[in-house]
C-alpha cells in the first residue's frame, strides 16, 4: 500500500487553532484507494519546521507528500504552483525569529515548482462544489519555506509533492473578520486533492493563470 504524507501547522500569530492541522488530522489513518494517509503536525518556526519535515520523509518514505498551511484572507483552497528561495517574514515565528531577505537554501535554485497535477486537482475540487484555484505565491513565511524545502529534498526522487493553502475557519473569521471555509469542506477538499494527485500522472491543460 502506498503512503501519502500530509502535514499541517501548529497555530501561530496568537491564533489558538490552525485549520491546516485540524483538517489534515481528520484524514490521518484513512485509506484512499491503495494509499494510506499519514498526517503529522509541523512547528511554525523557521529553525524547526524543515528538520521535522525531513524526519517525517525519512520515517515514512511516502510516495506522495502534500504540505498544508493556513492562508489568512484566502477565499478558496489554493493549490500552490511555485516555492521561492527567500524567507522574508512579516511577523516573528513561534520562536520569535523574523528572518528578512534570507535564502531558504544557500546557493539553491531560485524556485521550485510543484510536481502535483495542480490544475487537475483544482478541477476536481470545483466539480465537487468546493472553491479552489491555482495559487502563484505561497508567501515568504514558514509555509513557503516548508514548500521549498520539500521540493528541494525530493528533487529527482520521482516522489510527487507540493503545497496547499486553506482559508481560515469560521470561528477565526468571527474574531478577526475576512473570508472563511467550514472545516468539513476543507477536509473533503483535501481528500479530493489527494485522490486526484494519486490518480493523475499528468496535469490537464487549461487556464489557471492570473492577469496580475
Beta bridge partners of 65: 5, 161
Instruction: Map residue 113 onto helix, strand or coil.
Output: strand
Cell readout for 160 is 510527487
Residues tagged active-site? 80, 143, 165
Q: Environment class of residue 86 by beta-carbon count within 10 Å: exposed (0-12), middle (13-18) or buried (19+)? A: middle
Q: What is the CA radius of gyration of the chain?
A: 16
Which one, of 75, 56, 28, lies nearest residue 161 by Cα? Answer: 56
Spatial separation of the C-alpha atoms in residues 207 and 173, rounded to whole Å: 30
Amino acid at each position: 500500500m502506498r503512503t501519502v504524507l500530509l502535514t499541517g501547522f501548529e497555530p501561530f500569530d496568537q491564533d489558538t487553532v490552525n485549520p491546516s492541522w485540524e483538517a489534515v488530522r481528520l484524514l490521518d489513518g484513512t485509506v484512499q484507494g491503495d494509499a494510506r494517509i499519514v498526517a503529522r503536525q509541523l512547528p511554525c518556526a523557521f529553525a524547526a519546521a524543515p528538520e521535522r519535515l525531513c524526519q517525517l520523509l525519512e520515517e515514512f518514505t511516502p510516495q506522495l507528500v502534500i504540505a498544508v498551511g493556513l492562508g489568512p484572507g484566502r477565499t478558496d483552497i489554493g493549490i500552490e504552483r511555485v516555492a521561492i528561495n527567500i524567507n522574508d517574514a512579516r511577523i516573528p515565528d513561534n520562536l520569535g525569529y523574523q528572518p528578512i531577505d534570507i535564502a531558504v537554501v544557500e546557493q539553491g535554485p531560485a524556485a521550485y515548482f510543484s510536481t502535483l497535477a495542480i490544475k487537475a486537482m483544482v478541477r476536481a475540487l470545483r466539480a465537487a462544489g468546493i472553491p479552489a484555484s491555482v495559487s502563484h505565491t505561497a508567501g515568504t513565511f514558514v509555509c513557503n519555506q516548508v514548500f521549498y524545502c520539500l521540493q528541494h529534498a525530493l528533487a529527482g526522487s520521482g516522489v510527487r509533492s507540493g503545497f496547499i493553502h486553506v482559508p481560515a475557519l469560521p470561528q477565526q473569521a468571527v474574531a478577526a473578520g475576512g473570508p472563511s471555509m467550514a472545516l468539513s469542506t476543507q477536509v473533503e477538499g483535501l481528500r479530493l486533492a489527494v485522490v486526484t494527485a494519486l490518480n493523475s500522472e499528468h496535469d490537464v491543460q487549461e487556464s489557471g493563470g492570473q492577469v496580475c
